[in-house]
Amino acid sequence: MTIPTLRVTDATHFNSHELAEILNRCFEGYLVPFTLEGDIFAPRFAAESLSLPDSRVWLEGDTPVALALITRRGWRSRLAAFAIRAQWRGKGFGKTMMQSLLAQAKARGDKEMIVEVIRGNEAAQQLYERVGFTKEYRLRAFSSAGAAQDNPCDDVQLLDPGIVAGMMMQEAHALPWLIHPLTALALPGQGVTLDDKAFAIVNTLFKEPQLRALYVKPECRGKGYASRLLTQLAGAFPGIIAPCAVPDNLSGVFERNGWQELNIQQYQLRQAL
């Protein structure tokens, strides 16, 4: 599939700082303000399993006008970012670009593609649905600002995050990409345990610490360990947030323990290929 006046290339031709700049330009005027520093681009998207050969940049002459970042694990791919510069929006290019990305995913043997879209971004959601994506569930974000942070956190012990990720792997298939243990493990951060029954991975790459993994051993569930750990984390990591990747079915434990919902939500959409 080709787009008149535009040429397309894979993202291997650009370094991290260049891709961050392209991303920022393409997201200008976006529903939620977005900027990403070049030195954060590489660790962030590497943790999400970015595939530069499968990612695409569209250019008019030498000027990048659109970017699609593809992350992949096994037979599953994800559209981690897709944005078009303002003057090129609303002209039908997005649909053609998406159809091209889906055709490439099928050709390389992927079995499904997922994407997250900000709630309220009707244009993007309608585009994804027009090319075959179906909404699966809502994702929410929480801040520990409302949790009790003055409790002693002596019960929390640091732990190799690889141990936490390993325990989670058998159940991780159902988790959103951003709170999958493979994502959490690849980011700089710290594993945490409470009584060797509840576990977390806290990532420290970003401005605020981010809770990217929360796990309770099956035999210990329903006994309040997740609640205790969330309270302890609020004290041990001031300002910690859970990014916008918490599905509705996991949100209750945050609400019950005083974590405040942030004013951003997403939907995860999926398409079988």
Task: Report pTM.
Answer: 0.93
Specify the pLDDT at position 165.
97
Q: How confident is the model at residue 136 (pLDDT cuts 50, 70, 90)?
A: very high
pLDDT digits (tens, 9 = 90+) for 57-86: 999 999 999 999 999 999 999 999 999 999
Domain membership of residue 271 (yes or no) is no
Domain membership of residue 270 (yes or no) is no
Domain final residue pick, 97, 132, 167: 132
Residue 234 sits in the same domain as residue 213:
yes
Specify the pLDDT at position 61.
92
Residue 153 sits in the same domain as residue 175:
yes
Domain count, the chain: 2
**Average pLDDT over the chain, rounded to an integer:** 93
Residue 45 sits in the same domain as residue 145:
no
Instruction: Write the CB contacts of 80 (distance below 8 Å, at least 6 apart in sequence).
Output: 45, 48, 50, 69, 70, 71, 177
CATH code for the domain of 29 = 3.40.630.30
Specify the pLDDT at position 33.
81
Report the relative pairing of strands 7-10 and 56-60 from DSSP bridges.
antiparallel
Q: How confident is the model at residue 153 (pLDDT cuts 50, 70, 90)?
A: low
Residue 16 sits in the same domain as residue 100:
yes
Specify the pLDDT at position 85.
95
Residue 71 sits in the same domain as residue 148:
no
Residue 125 sits in the same domain as residue 176:
no
Domain that holds residue 27: 7-132
5 vs 273: which has the higher pLDDT: 273
Instruction: Report whether pLDDT(1) > 90.
Output: no
Domain membership of residue 1 (yes or no) is no
Instruction: Report whether pLDDT(208) > 80.
Output: yes
Domain final residue pick, 132, 163, 182: 132
Specify the pLDDT at position 154.
65
Specify the pLDDT at position 90.
85
Domain membership of residue 186 (yes or no) is yes
Residue 251 sits in the same domain as residue 151:
yes
78 vs 155: which has the higher pLDDT: 78
Q: What is the mean pLDDT of residues 200-219?
A: 96
Instruction: Report whether pLDDT(251) > 80.
Output: yes
Residue 12 sits in the same domain as residue 125:
yes
Q: How confident is the model at residue 23 (pLDDT cuts 50, 70, 90)?
A: very high
Instruction: Report whether pLDDT(180) > 90.
Output: yes
